[in-house]
Chain A
C-alpha cells in the first residue's frame, strides 16, 4: 500500500474522480497554471486542460455561483477557496442558493466547495480560520472535515459523488505533516459516518480535523498512566453521526470535546447539547469543551500558540475529567 501525505491523498481523489467522470471540473484561484497555492492541483491543467481546470479571477461569490449553475446542469464542479477564510465572500451563494435549491424546487446542486482551513503556521487572522460552524448551522449543506489521508481521499470522493452541496474543509497544517499507508484503487468514506480512531473506556474525546492528532498524542501519554481514552473522529459534521459519539459516552461516561475552531458557538456546543439531551443518565462528569480562545487568530507566534488548542490544554482538561 502506498504511503501518501494528507495533501497527496486529496490530489489523488481529485485526479481519480476527474479521470473517472468527465463532468468533474475544477474552479479556483491559481489552481491551473500555478498548480494551486498549496500545489494540490499540480499537473492537473496539463492532464485535463484549461476547460476543466479553470483559473478564476478573485471573485469568490462569482465563481461559487457559477459552479452552482453548472452543477444544476449536470456537471460536478469542485470549487477551491485558496484559503477557507475567503469562503465568507461566497456565503450567500453557498448558504442561500446551493443549500436551499433542492428544498425549494427539488433541483439538486451537486457541487463541492473545498477550503484549506486552520492555523498553527503563523498565517494571521485571515489565513487561519475554521469556518465550519457557520455552515453546519445552515440547513441543506453537508460539511466534512477529514483528519487522515485515508479519510481525506475517501471523503473527497464521496463529496464529489454526492448530489448535494458539500463543504470540505482540509486542514492545511496537516497537508505535509501527516502520512498514511492507504489502499490502492477506488474507495470512498461515507459522508455522515464517524470513526473511532482509538478505543478506550475511561474518557471519550470527541474531535475532528487537526485536533484528532493532538488528542491521539494526549491519549497515548495518558495510557502510560493506565487511563484509556477513546478518540472519536466525527469526520462529518453535517449530517452528524450522533450514534458514534453517543455510544462512546455511554461506554466511558465522560466526554471532552475538542476542536480548533473558536469555543463560543463552535460545533462542540452542538455535540455537548446532544450529549446532555440524549445520554444524561450515562454521564459521571460535566461535559467539557476545548476550542480556540474567542479572539481573531493572531499572527505573532506566542500569541497564536496561546489561542489555539494544544496538547497541554487538552491533557489538563482530560485529567480533570478522568479524576472527577
Chain B
C-alpha cells in the first residue's frame, strides 16, 4: 500500500569546505566606511522586516508579506560590487540591496501599505520595485520565477550592442531554476557571451518544496555545463565570501567572457510569506542555520576582529530603529491612490 504520510524533508549540513560560523575578510580590502555601509544596509533590512512582520500580524499591511531574513549577506554583498551604471533585479529576499543603493525605507513601506507612492502609485506590491534612473533596479515580472533571466539577457544584449562595459545581475532562487526561462535566458546569453550574471540564492526551499524534490542534481551550479559557462558554489551567509564570489562573476561578465552562474547556499528564516509557518522545515535544519545568521555573524565580526566599538554599532542599530519609526509614520499618513486614476498610464505616449 502506498504511504499516506506527509514527506519529511531531510536535513543535510553544508559541505565543511564552504561552511563557516565565524567571518573573515580573507584577502578582501574593505575600508571602515565600506564595512559600515554593508552593515547599515543589512541592519536596516533586518530591522525593517521584523517591523513589517509585526505590522502584518497587527493587520496594518495590505495583502501578503514576503521577507528575506537570512539572505541579507547575499543581497548586500552582491550589490556592493556593482558599479553605479550596472543594473540588477531583486526578489523579495533582497531588501538590503535596495537600501544599499539608496532606496528609502519609508517609500518601501508606503508601497507595502498600498499607498500612493512612486513609481507604482499602488499598482504593484511593495515587493516589486523598478527604478532604472535612480537606483539601477530593473523591471521584471514574476510570471514564472525565472522570467527575468531572459529579460536580463536582453538588458545585457543592449549593453553589448552599445559596447558599454556594464553588467546585469539577475538575482533569483533555487525554485526559479526549474522553469524553462532559466534555460532559455542563459542559453541565449551564453551563445552571445552577454554580460549576465545569475545569482541563485539557494535557500533550499521553493515555498514548501525542498531541493530534493525540485531538482535531480545536488547543486544548481551543476547545470552550468549545459550552457558552457563557469559557475561557483559558495556560502551565502558570509558577506565577505559573497563579495569575493560576486566580484569574480561580475568581473568575468564585464570582460566580455559571457554569463556566470553563482550559487550561494543560504536559508530562509521565515516562511515563503508571513502566512506560511514553514513547519515543513526540519527542526535540526533551523537550529543549524540560526547559528549561521548572516547579520549576527557580521555583527560579531565587526565587534571582534573588525575592531569596531559596541557604542558605534549600537548607534547604527538605534538609527535604523528611528528610521523605521519615521517610515511607519510616513507610510500610514500617506494617502491611497485615487480610484479615478486607475485607468491612467496604461499606454506610453
Contact = CB atoms under 8 A, between A and B. Distances in A.
Contact of A72 (B119, B132, B183, B347): B132
A69 B347 contact: no
Interface string B306-349: 00000000000000000000000000000000000000011111
Interface stretch (B41-49, B122-130, B252-260, B297-305): B122-130
B19 interface: no
B154 A69 contact: yes
Nearest to A65: B150
B150 A75 contact: no
A103 B131 contact: no
Contact of A102 (B131, B138, B140, B345): B345
A105 interface: yes
A34 B11 CA distance: 53
B155 interface: yes
Interface in A105-148: 105-108, 110, 139-140, 142
B244 interface: no
Given A65-B153, A70-B157, A104 B123 contact: yes
Interface in B104-153: 119-120, 123-124, 128, 130-132, 138-141, 143-144, 147-153
Contacts, number: 140
A65 B185 contact: yes
Most A CB within 10 A of own CB, among B141, B144, B150? B150
A282 to B, nearest CB: 28
Contact of A66 (B131, B154, B345): B154
A151 B349 CA distance: 22
Nearest to A107: B139
A262 interface: no
Nearest to B166: A73
Most B CB within 10 A of own CB, among A67, A140, A142? A67
A108 B155 CA distance: 14
Contacts of B124: 104-105
B157 A66 contact: yes
A119 B44 CA distance: 59
Given A72-B132, A101-B141, A105-B124, A66 B346 contact: no
A56 to B, nearest CB: 7
A70 B188 CA distance: 13
B62 interface: no
A64 B345 contact: no
B107 to A, nearest CB: 13
Contact of B147 (A67, A71, A93, A102): A93
B120 A97 contact: no
B130 A67 contact: no
Contacts of A96: 141, 143, 147
B291 interface: no
B63 interface: no
B102 interface: no
B61 to A, nearest CB: 19
Contacts of A56: 188
A63 to B, nearest CB: 6
B181 interface: yes
A301 interface: no
Contacts of A51: 161
A61 interface: yes
Contacts of B50: none
A74 interface: yes
A310 interface: no
Contacts of B184: 57, 59, 61-63, 65
Contact of B150 (A61, A72, A100): A61
A74 B159 CA distance: 11
Nearest to B180: A61
A154 to B, nearest CB: 19
A163 interface: yes
Given A97-B147, A107-B132, A62 B348 contact: no
A95 B176 CA distance: 19
B247 interface: no
A93 B188 contact: no
A139 B123 CA distance: 14
B151 A69 contact: yes
Contacts of B348: 102, 108, 110, 163-164
A70 B141 contact: no
A165 B150 CA distance: 17
Given A56-B188, A105-B130, A62 B153 contact: yes
A68 interface: yes
Contacts of A75: 158, 161
Contact of B119 (A97, A106, A163): A106
A295 to B, nearest CB: 28
Given A72-B138, A106-B345, A142-B347, A61 B181 contact: yes
A7 B101 CA distance: 49
Nearest to A52: B161
Nearest to A74: B158
Nearest to A163: B348
Nearest to B189: A66
A278 interface: no
A164 B348 CA distance: 6
A62 B147 contact: no
6 A-B pairs with the lowest CB-CB distances in the bound complex, closest first? A69-B154, A62-B184, A65-B150, A73-B158, A92-B143, A66-B154
24 contacts: A59-B183, A59-B187, A61-B147, A61-B150, A63-B150, A63-B188, A64-B150, A65-B153, A68-B150, A68-B154, A69-B154, A69-B158, A70-B157, A73-B158, A92-B141, A92-B147, A92-B181, A100-B141, A101-B130, A104-B123, A104-B124, A104-B128, A106-B345, A239-B347
